[in-house]
Amino acid sequence: MTASAKNGSPFAQESDSERDPNRWRALWVTLVAGFMSLLDVTIVAVALPTVQRELHASAAQVQWVVSGYALTFALALVTAGRLGDALDRRRIFLLALSSFVIFSAACGAAPDITWLVVARLAQGLAAGFMAPQNSALIQQMFRGAERGRAFGFFGATVGISSAVGPLTGGAILALASGSEGWRWIFYVNVPIGILAVLLGRRLLPRTRPTGRGHVDVPGVVLLGLGVLALMYPLVQADSGGLSRLWWLFLLGAALLGVFVWWQRRLVARDAQPLLDPRLFSTVRGYAVGAGVGTLYFIGFSGVWLVFALFYQRGLGFSPLRSGLAVTPFAIGSASAAVIAGRLVDRFGRLLTVCGLTGVITGLGGAALLLRFAPLDIAPWAAAPLLFLGGIGGGFVVSPNITMTLRDVPVRMAGAAGGALQTGQRLGAAVGTAALPGLYYLALGAGDDYRGALAVALVAALAGMGASLALATVDWRRDRRTRRPHEKCPDEVAHDPLHSRQS
Per-residue pLDDT tens for 435-448?
Answer: 877 888 888 767 88
Mean of pLDDT values over 118-122: 93
For residue 365, the model assigns a pLDDT of 93
For residue 407, the model assigns a pLDDT of 77
Residue 2 falls inside a structural domain: no
Residues 71, 456, 301, 104: is their CA dihedral positive or negative?
positive
For residue 11, the model assigns a pLDDT of 36
Rounded CA-CA distance 96/90 in Å is: 10
Rounded CA-CA distance 98/79 in Å is: 19
Same domain? For 440 and 294 the reply is yes
Mean of pLDDT values over 331-360: 86
Supply the mean pLDDT for the chain: 81
Q: What 8-state DSSP symbol labels residue 245?
A: S
Q: Where is pLDDT greater, at 223 or 469?
A: 469
Mean of pLDDT values over 96-110: 95
Same domain? For 99 and 155 the reply is yes
CB 367 within 8 A of CB 458: yes
Residue 498 falls inside a structural domain: no
Residue 500 falls inside a structural domain: no
For residue 182, the model assigns a pLDDT of 87
Residue 3 falls inside a structural domain: no
Same domain? For 158 and 232 the reply is no
DSSP reduced 3-state for 25: helix
Residue 190 has pLDDT above 90, yes or no: yes
Same domain? For 75 and 155 the reply is yes
Mean of pLDDT values over 421-437: 78
Residue 399 has pLDDT above 70, yes or no: yes
Rounded to 5 degrees, what angle do the CA atoms 395, 357, 148 make?
15
Q: What is the identity of the amino acid at 262?
A: W
Same domain? For 380 and 464 the reply is yes
For residue 333, the model assigns a pLDDT of 83
Q: Which of 205, 240, 273 is the last residue of a domain?
A: 273
Same domain? For 155 and 300 the reply is yes
Same domain? For 202 and 241 the reply is no
Q: For the chain, what is the domain count?
A: 2
Entry field: residues in the chain: 502
Residue 210 has pLDDT above 50, yes or no: yes
Same domain? For 301 and 410 the reply is yes
> 471 is in which domain, residue-wise?
20-215+274-491
Rounded CA-CA distance 91/204 in Å is: 9
DSSP reduced 3-state for 445: coil
Same domain? For 68 and 176 the reply is yes
Rounded CA-CA distance 65/49 in Å is: 12
Rounded CA-CA distance 87/68 in Å is: 28
What string of H, E and C letters represents the secondary structure of 381-412? HCHHHHHHHHHHHHHHHHHHHHHHHCCCCHHH
Mean of pLDDT values over 292-315: 84
- pLDDT tier at 485 (50, 70, 90 boundaries)? very low
Residue 276 has pLDDT above 50, yes or no: yes
Same domain? For 257 and 281 the reply is no
Residue 294 falls inside a structural domain: yes
Q: Where is pLDDT greater, at 467 or 3?
A: 467
Same domain? For 263 and 281 the reply is no
Distance of CA 199 to the CA centre of its chain: 24
Q: Of 70-74, 214-218, 264-268, 386-390, which range is least confident?
A: 214-218
Mean of pLDDT values over 294-320: 83
Residue 8 falls inside a structural domain: no
142 CB burial (10 A radius; 0-12, 13-18, 19+): buried
Q: What is the identity of the amino acid at 305?
A: L
- pLDDT tier at 16 (50, 70, 90 boundaries)? very low
Q: Which of 237, 258, 273 is the last residue of a domain?
A: 273
Same domain? For 268 and 280 the reply is no
Q: Per mean pLDDT, which of 82-91, 197-206, 493-502 is the most reliable?
A: 197-206
What is the domain-level CATH number for residue 60?
1.20.1250.20
Residue 4 falls inside a structural domain: no
Q: Which of 273, 297, 315 is the last residue of a domain?
A: 273
446 CB burial (10 A radius; 0-12, 13-18, 19+): exposed
Mean of pLDDT values over 351-376: 92
Residue 245 falls inside a structural domain: yes
171 CB burial (10 A radius; 0-12, 13-18, 19+): middle
CB 408 within 8 A of CB 494: no
